[in-house]
Structure 1
């Protein structure tokens, strides 16, 4: 279904970070406290070239010159909306005016399927891949020769968990929440348990009025399984909700159907869609982080092994991880994680998620491949609850 490889570590309780192993919640919290540059991006320009931080390599200007020689073109395959990309691409071009970035918005699994199929033909135009479909990313990156090796100078300025896998970094750390139509649901569901109580109290009115993600897709599987593993009481609520729910393959589709009233609410909605939709809807759509466990996904970014424009791809990766890049990430509706991001209205950060959901309520998803047998068992159980 998603491929097979190494097995996933045993799950931890919700009051820790699923699959983080020795890092642990306490270490992660400490890392977050000290993460980010201390004004590094605003430091005096280093020897690497005009405008580069002092901690960049002394010969970084050669990478800039190489990007100019490439023509500055860049193709990105991603499952990220144009609304999320807009500030990032705007600020990257402002810093490197000769660049021209094309960021395709594909389905979560299609990002990797397309790259693999095109690589097999010897004609792969993508320079970079961006996706928060953890299972698909992990399966793809576990194969040989699927990523270019690169050591970003920003890595040491970031918390340890920023590098999700070798040569894969977190562009953002995005929470997954509940979205609901405030005109149809007067009582805000602040948790999966709340939503389950509402459905149980009036199952007839909620029949086919709740949406969740299709667990046959890599993204839907990752978030659903993470919640089920990270919350010991998860199935109590899910057992009540799933018989009334209908699966969809994208958060964008879920958003539109919640706004139209086809659905009253949806759970496991990406904040990359939920946050901007709440702002644009004038209050009709509300987006909340479940108090009984908020799943957080790293949105992975990496460079393809035979990127047609490798220098520009490296510049882009460094920019996205930088202080300026993380501010643009937050402006676009994704959740940045550097501790010096400007918290103006409409911007969201991982630190904010900690405050809203509580550090003990965060369920982070490790970039590990789940064995195919475990995937099949979970999908079968989930779909049986849906009545599929």
Structure 2
């Protein structure tokens, strides 16, 4: 595995390393856009929601209703800065609002790094409206959380029922554990691919056809750097594979852009693409697209969620964190195309779990992307080497 222990070593890092460690589209997730019901209706006619009746799990604090009451006094607003697509959010918002129908959600879809840049900028001015930050940029999270007073301390009662790796950093929890894979257009590539090495071999056998027809993630961003470095450091024969495929590749700044251009045929394939984009893309493409968890190494990345230090709607934010970590929340997470990790969530068509990722990619091929910041020297060394291989 490229001179590194990938299988059991990488899994140990998941259990220990995690715990140690602008046009912006604002969507108000009301009944019309998220499938939830309006205020006062919990999805069952005139029946009150379970939360309204104080029906909480036995392991929740006896005074948990006070958080619900506090959320109502806050006006029921919730503001989220995230890099998560509305397609992924839709079932989560729908089911959360069934439980708490008085809540109105505004979710900004930002670039991975912009989540932190915008929050820091607004904190500096004293006007920071976000209640929650959600991003899967591990380097970005590590740098942001290393600064003082950037997250609020909150220990969800759900943590007692979850694996240790859910705590990515102090006060930062995993909403999902998403695989990073390879997406290809079957109209362009007429061969089944199971690994990035397979793609490299196909490119080498079809050099004229595949010139500039591959895309990978721009490593100048925190997300792109984190997933690319993790794969290069741990995957089987990674740099040999990269040397073959990268001269045919161009970098893009988002998985969504990569997906769109692969669908149109501008690219034949792309690798290190988020499963949050890849799984739904394959499902909706009618056979045109295939999303693969590479057998030579599949990155898995925690999608971090944390409450901001001076959240304007702190009680509502706590309700949301508890929900996404709960059994109901994790089922909604899976329905939205993200990979849930609770054992009770069973894979089905359109639903994806971390356990499924282990099965498809192979446990020994899982590369858990660490929530840690690289030094400037490490960043420069890696990005220079990576970018030096790209198509000229």
**TM-score calculated relative to the size of structure 2:** 0.88
1:61 maps to: 65
1:291 to partner: Cα distance: 0.3
1:22 to partner: Cα distance: 8.9
* Equivalent residue for 1:273, pick from 274, 277, 299: 277
1:365 aligns with 2:335: no
Q: In the aligned structure 1, how far is the partner of 2:9 from the partner of 2:353?
A: 18
CA distances 1:129-149 after superposition (whole Å, capped 9, x unpaired):
000011001110111100000
1:187 aligns with 2:179: no
1:375 maps to: 379
1:284 to partner: Cα distance: 0.6
Matches within 5 A, 1:157-172: 157-172=161-176
Does the Cα contact within 8 Å between 1:190 and 1:288 map onto a contact in 2? Answer: yes
Q: In the aligned structure 2, how far is the partner of 1:18 from the partner of 1:120?
A: 38
1:33 maps to: none
Does the Cα contact within 8 Å between 2:157 and 2:322 map onto a contact in 1? Answer: yes
1:302 aligns with 2:306: yes
1:13 to partner: Cα distance: 2.3
1:16 to partner: Cα distance: 3.4
Q: In the aligned structure 2, how far is the partner of 1:344 from the partner of 1:58?
A: 35
Does the Cα contact within 8 Å between 2:213 and 2:248 map onto a contact in 1? Answer: yes
2:220 maps to: 216
Does the Cα contact within 8 Å between 1:129 and 1:303 map onto a contact in 2? Answer: yes
CA 1:17–1:89 in structure 2 vs 1: closer, same or farther (change >3 Å)? farther
Q: In the aligned structure 1, how far is the partner of 2:5 from the partner of 2:82?
A: 31
Per the alignment, in what secondary structure is the counterpart of residue 345 of structure 1?
coil
2:143 maps to: 139
Per the alignment, in what secondary structure is the counterpart of residue 204 of structure 1?
coil
Matches within 5 A, 1:116-131: 116-131=120-135
1:207 to partner: Cα distance: 1.0
Q: In the aligned structure 2, how far is the partner of 1:138 from the partner of 1:22?
A: 15
User: What are structure 2's unaligned runs of at least 5 residues?
Assistant: 18-49
Per the alignment, in what secondary structure is the counterpart of residue 169 of structure 1?
strand
1:176 aligns with 2:180: yes
Per the alignment, in what secondary structure is the counterpart of residue 201 of structure 2?
helix
Q: In the aligned structure 1, how far is the partner of 2:96 from the partner of 2:346?
A: 18
CA distances 1:135-177 after superposition (whole Å, capped 9, x unpaired):
0011101111000000100011000001100000000000011
2:358 maps to: 354
CA distances 1:51-96 after superposition (whole Å, capped 9, x unpaired):
2100000000111100000011000000000000000000000000
1:15 maps to: 7
Does the Cα contact within 8 Å between 1:326 and 1:337 map onto a contact in 2? Answer: yes
Does the Cα contact within 8 Å between 1:47 and 1:58 map onto a contact in 2? Answer: no
Does the Cα contact within 8 Å between 2:236 and 2:296 map onto a contact in 1? Answer: no
Per the alignment, in what secondary structure is the counterpart of residue 229 of structure 1?
helix
**TM-score calculated relative to the size of structure 1:** 0.89
CA distances 1:231-273 after superposition (whole Å, capped 9, x unpaired):
2510010000111000000000000100100000000110000
Q: In the aligned structure 2, how far is the partner of 1:49 from the partner of 1:284?
A: 47
1:202 to partner: Cα distance: 2.1
Does the Cα contact within 8 Å between 2:236 and 2:297 map onto a contact in 1? Answer: no
Higher alpha-carbon deviation: 61-70 or 11-20: 11-20
* Equivalent residue for 2:229, pick from 212, 225, 229: 225
Does the Cα contact within 8 Å between 1:136 and 1:218 map onto a contact in 2? Answer: yes
Q: In the aligned structure 2, how far is the partner of 1:367 from the partner of 1:136?
A: 9
| Number of residue pairs the alignment of both structures matches | 359
1:283 to partner: Cα distance: 1.0
After superposition, the CA RMSD in angstroms is 2.0
* Equivalent residue for 2:248, pick from 244, 247, 266: 244
Higher alpha-carbon deviation: 212-221 or 11-20: 11-20
Does the Cα contact within 8 Å between 1:326 and 1:338 map onto a contact in 2? Answer: yes
Per the alignment, in what secondary structure is the counterpart of residue 50 of structure 1?
coil
